[in-house]
Amino acid sequence: MTKERILDLLKSHGSLSAHELANSLELSRQMVHAALRELTDSGLVQRVGRPPKTVYQLKTERVVSKTELPSEKEKFLRENFILISETGEIREGAEGFQIWCSQRKLPFEKTVSEYITTQQKYKSYFNADGFIDGMEKLKTTKGYDTIHLNNLYYLDFYAIERFGKTRLGTLLHYAKQGQSKLLMKLLVNETKANVVQLCELLKADGVGFVPPTIRREVQLMKYLQTHYALKLPSIKLNKTSGIIPVPQKSLSKLEERITNAQQTFSVPETRSFNHVLLIDDAVGSGATVNEIAGKIKKKGIAEKVSALAITGSFKGFDVITDV
């Protein structure tokens, strides 16, 4: 009876908080919360927002006709595609891709084949160990006086032609912008083995996590540092700002990015290492990791410095503005 009354109220009022529902029904909040849990578990109601601003509304199901795919295509989509809906729901694999196609009025099966072909083209940039080598891009980008990095790698591109953000690009974007620990956990689960592998391949004996510019309640880089739990000493990296913090993504010129990195990052480290691996979430121009590498080498902290980004840009100088 309580659940039916809640559904009626949500149908007539749209979105309501648990407090509003309790007042309208003249019931305890505990009873209302219990009913709401059952309704959300059954898929009739969806929760929107985070406490203390959580509201509830009727769940509107997207009507998408299901199409059977060959198992190898199903597997490819499951491994490569993820969609975060406009209401914050995670849809993976064929289900997510079918919604993506439906939103754009694209034929599903034909677009799946085109997506796989496009992805395979980009996968040709991965080396035998499963990393994208970004050094050539860095070396051919005009504007650098010195390339300080010994190596630059990505785990994936941030986005690809036509289809937009990759799976890692999508997870990174929404994990960072939404400060979502759920997506940060998924990101760690999908990337930790690669990070550990690269540390071993490079024989790194120190690691540095590039600190963020903008203050957030949940910092992605701090979360990665804690949950990667690498068995290597972390070198100290500081990010300082003027009166107004200026993130790299707000700078459209390479020389501005280089100046920003030169003047706002410091390395207050006293220990010595052979090979340090810098880890960043995304690399567009490469200015940040390259300038930090220069500071590390200039202070005699390490002989070699490499960098790894979860995602990187495909083009030469690029500005990834939305992470």
**Is residue 303 included in any domain, yes or no?**
yes
Between CA 185 and CA 164 the distance in angstroms is: 22
Per-residue pLDDT of the chain (323 residues; tens, 9 = 90+): 898 898 888 888 888 888 898 899 888 989 988 998 888 888 788 787 767 778 888 876 554 556 789 999 999 999 999 999 887 889 999 999 999 999 999 999 999 999 999 999 999 999 999 999 999 888 887 778 899 999 999 999 999 999 999 999 999 999 998 889 999 999 999 999 999 999 999 999 999 999 987 777 889 999 999 999 999 999 999 987 654 455 656 555 666 766 766 677 899 999 999 999 999 999 988 889 999 999 999 999 999 999 999 999 876 545 455 55
Report CA torsion sign: 58, 179, 288, 203: negative
Radius of gyration of the chain from Cα atoms?
23
237 conformational bin, left if phi > 0, alpha if psi -120 to 50, beta if neither: beta
Scanning the structure block, which residue is given the tokens 């309580």? 2
How many alpha carbons fall within 13 Å on the CB side of residue 146?
A: 10
| Long-range contacts from 129-134, C-beta under 8 angstroms, 24+ separation | 129/197, 129/198, 129/201, 130/194, 130/197, 131/155, 131/194, 131/198, 131/308, 132/156, 132/157, 132/312, 134/283, 134/286, 134/309, 134/312
Element containing residue 89 per DSSP (H, E) = none
Residue 192 and residue 258 in one domain = yes
63 located within any domain: no
* 308 within 8 A of 282, measured Cβ to Cβ: no
Residue at a domain's end among 58, 89, 104: 58
Contact by Cβ (8 Å): 21, 9: yes
Q: What local confidence, expressed as pLDDT, does residue 295 receive?
A: 95
What is the CATH number for 6?
Answer: 1.10.10.10
If asked whether residues 108 and 163 sit together in one domain, one would say no
Residue 43 to residues 31, 40, 262: CA-CA distances in angstroms? 19, 5, 52
Between CA 291 and CA 85 the distance in angstroms is 37
Pair (304, 174) in one structural domain = yes
200 domain residue, yes or no: yes
Chain-centroid distance of CA 200 in Å reads: 24
In terms of residue numbers, what domain contains 87? 71-123
